[in-house]
Structure 1
Amino acid sequence: NFDKPRFDKPREGGAERPRFSRPREDRPQGDRPRGDRAFADRPQRERPKFDRPREGGSSWQEHPRSESPGERPRRDNEDDSKVFAKRPAFGGRGEYRERKPEFEKRAARPPREKKSGERIAKVLSRAGLASRRDAEEWVVQGRVSVNGRVINSPALDVTENDAITIDGKPLPPRERTRLFMYHKPRGLMTTHADPEGRPTVFDNLPEGLPRLISIGRLDFNTEGLLLLTNDGGLARALELPDTGWLRRYRVRAHGEVTQGQLDALKKGVEIDGVKYGPIDATLERDQGANVWLVFAIREGKNREVRNVMAHLGLEVNRLIRISYGPFQLGELPEGEVEEVKTRVLREQLGEKIAELAGADFNRPMPGDAGGKSDAKS
């Protein structure tokens, strides 16, 4: 047990701490000094009085409350014309200002003038010389001149009045928008010039065709339908996934797969960080150690079919594109080209895609007399 601390220091004056013989509860209540009573317990007569007069010698009774409830009391020196004068101490709202009867509106901005020209790369692409991307590279390389001046930036708008040359040769006039179907064989690159020297599609086209560019690409070992056009705007429009054209392939692959695995691709799939959109795949038949499938996609990303097949454990050994939108490979012989009639092309594109592509079906065909269409129109 610990002893309570003791205070041995004597109180000042030698007096001891007072002790009470009776408990606190037994003491009479009247022993408490009168000055300690609460203010509310005092009799009315004992409440302090404030005899000091108000400043100015007036009291609030001199200004009785107004009889009308909506009117505030007025000061003796208050001017009716300055009722709304700003009084910060009283939360005034500031001096009243009359509003003009007619509000002055800000003058509308004049509409922006539409550009009269088009980007240089777009013009080169529409002429069927190259894709827009390749045309931009030509500009950067200094191969393009406008009005006798070499340009090195594709951020330039030109009009029909500008004289454009590529490698010193004048830009050919724009022709009518045309579309060709080509049955691409295996072993050809879809490019105008391959840096490795491999054979290209355009080196193996039949003679007599205008300068064409491809709509999309097919891999070196992929065969089937490849669309070609003389209009870069059309090529760009049909390559966009937003156009919504379905691309169908027949696939022969080594391995085994079930229809259930293929149905799961309808929700899309992500492979090595690359997201592929919905794929409609159907199992056709088994052929020994191989299976035949039909793939339908809308995006057409690089090596999409082969990458998805490898994801399912299959190795593609033959890939044939059989359709691109409404255009079918059909019985077109390998290596042959067939032009789509202008009337059919216009109907299949529709107004929306034709406007997006900037297609022109009214220009004369090369060799036409008087600008009339030939039998293919």
Structure 2
Amino acid sequence: MEERLQKLLSAAGVCSRRSAERYITEGRVKVNGVPAQLGMKADPERDEITVDGTALPQTEKRVWLMLNKPAGRVTTLSDEKGRKTAAELVADCGVRVWPVGRLDIDSEGLLLFTNDGEGTHHLLHPGHEVEKEYHVIVEGDASAALPILNGPMELDGELLAPAKVSLLDQRSASARLSVIIHQGKNRQVRRMCAAAGLTVKRLRRVREGTLHLGELPAGKWRWLTGEEVSQLLS
């Protein structure tokens, strides 16, 4: 079936649709050996589509899976320092997939993997404001920190979008917070807590959009259902 080249490049994970437009205008994309033009359509089953001389990867069935990432693993597909990766835990899924977003090495919980380039760009685009919920165990004065965390905050000189932070339970030396954000700045939740005078002892992502981690054991993964994917990308 013929589709616009921008969509085909995005679906294959080559680049975003916006970047695909630039690739086309720069003459980097060819269809059957002829430089492509904006607005052109092609059928990947019939036409040869190349980017910088390399054939567009054959589109596989789009799959999504959820991993309960344990602490101590990086989110990159490979690591130059030789550290363990989250990708190693889903290597037995039988499909080449990549992580959607990041969880830092010390954090754990819900981490999505897919081979759907277009869906990845949708979820990561700041304009879609997909909520992410974290359960965070902290040390410090949680009661004093809550107004700060729920108020205007800045990171790197930039005003953050408002967060929703609530106290789940309080113990003598620690507290457990629910932190809901829809941005993805580097170590954002940890840095927010530090700015509010709290020390993070454990950080676990439990929800992304409509998708909940549930009772999935640490280090294990499962396929998302068609309904889950549809709701996630709606």
Interval of TM-score (by shorter of Structure 1 and Structure 2): 0.7 to 0.9
Residue from 296, 306, 324 that aligns with 2:190: 306
Q: Which amino acid aligns with 1:245?
A: V
CA contact (8 A) 1:178 1:342 kept: no
Q: Which residue of 1 aligns with 2:113?
A: 228
Q: In proportion to residue count, which structure has more strand?
A: 2
Q: How far is the alpha carbon of 1:227 from its aligned partner?
A: 1.2
Q: Distance in 2 between matches of 1:341 and 1:166?
A: 36
* 3-state SS, counterpart of residue 75 of structure 2: coil
Aligned pair count reads 218
* 3-state SS, counterpart of residue 205 of structure 1: helix
Residue from 180, 191, 195 that aligns with 2:80: 195
Q: Which residue of 2 aligns with 1:118?
A: 5
Q: Which residue of 2 aligns with 1:106?
A: none
Q: Distance in 2 between matches of 1:167 and 1:321?
A: 40
CA contact (8 A) 1:263 1:280 kept: no
Give the 3 Å change call, closer, same or farther, for CA 131–199 of structure 1 in structure 2: farther
CA contact (8 A) 2:11 2:117 kept: yes
CA contact (8 A) 1:206 1:336 kept: no
Query: Given the two structures, how large is their TM-score scaled by the length of structure 1?
Result: 0.50
* 3-state SS, counterpart of residue 90 of structure 2: coil
Paired residues for 1:201-350 under 5 Å: 201-258=86-143, 261-346=145-230, 348-349=231-232
Q: How far is the alpha carbon of 1:145 from its aligned partner?
A: 9.0
Q: Which amino acid aligns with 1:331?
A: E
Q: Which residue of 2 aligns with 1:8?
A: none
1:162 aligns with 2:57: no
Query: Given the two structures, how large is their TM-score scaled by the length of structure 2?
Result: 0.78
* 3-state SS, counterpart of residue 120 of structure 2: helix
Q: Which residue of 1 aligns with 2:68?
A: 183
Q: How far is the alpha carbon of 1:308 from its aligned partner?
A: 0.6
Q: Distance in 2 between matches of 1:199 and 1:270?
A: 32
* 3-state SS, counterpart of residue 301 of structure 1: coil
Q: Distance in 2 between matches of 1:256 and 1:145?
A: 56
Q: Which amino acid aligns with 1:186?
A: A
Q: Which amino acid aligns with 2:48?
A: D
Give the 3 Å change call, closer, same or farther, for CA 292–123 of structure 1 in structure 2: same
Q: Give a deviation string over 1:60-81, Cα, whole Å, max 9, x none.
A: xxxxxxxxxxxxxxxxxxxxxx
CA contact (8 A) 1:247 1:325 kept: yes
Q: How far is the alpha carbon of 1:304 from its aligned partner?
A: 0.8
Q: Distance in 2 between matches of 1:337 and 1:277?
A: 31
* 3-state SS, counterpart of residue 87 of structure 2: coil
Q: Give a deviation string over 1:8-67, Cα, whole Å, max 9, x none.
A: xxxxxxxxxxxxxxxxxxxxxxxxxxxxxxxxxxxxxxxxxxxxxxxxxxxxxxxxxxxx
Q: Which amino acid aligns with 1:238?
A: L
Q: Distance in 2 between matches of 1:131 and 1:180?
A: 21
Q: Distance in 1 between matches of 2:94 and 2:80?
A: 24
Stretches of structure 1 that go unaligned for 5 or more consecutive residues are: 1-115, 355-377
Q: Which amino acid aligns with 2:149?
A: L
Q: How far is the alpha carbon of 1:272 from its aligned partner?
A: 4.2
Q: What percent of counterpart residues are identical?
A: 32
Q: How far is the alpha carbon of 1:158 from its aligned partner?
A: 8.1
* 3-state SS, counterpart of residue 219 of structure 2: coil
* 3-state SS, counterpart of residue 343 of structure 1: helix
Q: Which amino acid aligns with 1:256?
A: D
Give the 3 Å change call, closer, same or farther, for CA 189–255 of structure 1 in structure 2: same
Q: Which amino acid aligns with 1:313?
A: G
* 3-state SS, counterpart of residue 203 of structure 1: helix
Bigger Rg, which one: 1
